[in-house]
Chain A
Amino acid sequence: MNVDIQSLGTFNQLAHEGAQQATQSLAQMTGIDAVVDVTKITLLDRADVGEGLTGSEFVGVQFGFEGALEGETVLVFDTESADTIADSLMPGASDDPAMAQSSVTEIGNIMMSGFIDGWADYLDSTIDHSPPEYIEKSGKDVLPEAPESDEHQQVFVFKSEIEWVGESVNFYIYMLPEYEPLAEMMMEHGDPEADAIPIDKLQTFNEMTTNGTQQAAGNVEMMTGIPTDAEVTEISFAPIEDVPKQIGTDTYVGTVVEFTGVPSGYLMVLFDEVSAVNVAEAMMPVETDGDSVTDQHKAAIEELGNIMTSGFVDGWANVLQTSVDHTPPRLVHDMGRSIVDPLAAQVGQHQEHAFIINSTMRTDDVEFNAEIHALPNEKELREALEDLDVERADETEADVEQIFE
Chain B
Amino acid sequence: MKVYDGSQTESAQQSQPERIKVGIAEYRVATDSAVLTTSGLGSCIGVGIYDEASGVAGLVHVMLPTAEDVEGGNRAKFADTGVAALVEALEAEGASRDGMRAKIAGGSDMLDFSENGPSIGSRNADQVRETLTAFDIPLLGEDVGGDHGRSLRLEADTGDFVVKSANTESTTL
Q: Do A and B come from one complex?
A: yes
Which chain A residues have a beta carbon within 8 Å of chain B's beta carbons?
Answer: 27, 31, 33, 35, 37, 163, 165-166, 240-242, 244-245, 249, 251, 256, 258, 266, 327, 330, 332-346, 348-349, 352
Pair count A-B, CB < 8 A: 107
Cβ contact within 8 Å between A346 and B10: no
Residue in B42, B73, B110, B167 whose Cβ sees the most chain A Cβ within 10 Å: B42
Cβ contact within 8 Å between A266 and B113: yes
The answer to whether A241 and B111 touch (CB under 8 A), given A337-B40, A346-B120, is no
Question: Which residues of B14-55 are within 8 A (CB) of A?
Answer: 19-21, 23-25, 39-44
The answer to whether A33 and B11 touch (CB under 8 A), given A249-B39, A342-B121, is yes
Closest to B26 in A: A241
Cβ contact within 8 Å between B19 and A165: yes
> Chain A residues with Cβ under 8 A from B150's Cβ?
338
In angstroms, Cα B108 to Cα A361, docked, is 30
Interface size class of B (residues with CB under 8 A): 35 or more
Q: List 25 A-B contacts (CB under 8 A).
A: A31-B9, A33-B9, A165-B20, A166-B19, A241-B77, A258-B113, A266-B113, A333-B166, A334-B167, A335-B39, A335-B149, A337-B42, A337-B149, A338-B41, A339-B111, A339-B149, A341-B24, A341-B40, A341-B44, A342-B121, A343-B111, A344-B63, A345-B42, A346-B112, A349-B64
Contact with A along B129-173 (1 / 0, CB 8 A): 000000000000000000011110000000000000111000000
> Chain B residues with Cβ under 8 A from A33's Cβ?
9, 11
In angstroms, Cα B39 to Cα A340, docked, is 12
Cβ contact within 8 Å between B166 and A245: no
Cβ contact within 8 Å between B113 and A336: no
Q: Beyond the given A244-B40, A341-B43, could you list 12 further A-B residue pairs with CB under 8 A, ordered by the A residue number?
A: A244-B42, A245-B24, A327-B113, A334-B42, A337-B42, A338-B42, A339-B110, A342-B110, A344-B63, A345-B42, A345-B43, A346-B113
Residue in A35, A240, A336, A341 whose Cβ sees the most chain B Cβ within 10 Å: A341
Cβ contact within 8 Å between B21 and A342: no
Q: B7 in the interface, Cβ–Cβ < 8 Å?
A: no
A256 contacts which of B73, B111, B114, B121 (Cβ < 8 Å)?
A: B111
Cβ contact within 8 Å between B10 and A335: no
Cβ contact within 8 Å between A334 and B120: no
Residue in A35, A241, A249 whose Cβ sees the most chain B Cβ within 10 Å: A241
The answer to whether A339 and B112 touch (CB under 8 A), given A333-B167, A334-B148, is no
Min CB distance B150 to A, Å, is 7
Min CB distance B30 to A, Å, is 13
> Chain A residues with Cβ under 8 A from B120's Cβ?
342, 345-346, 349
> Chain A residues with Cβ under 8 A from B121's Cβ?
342
In angstroms, Cα B21 to Cα A163, docked, is 11
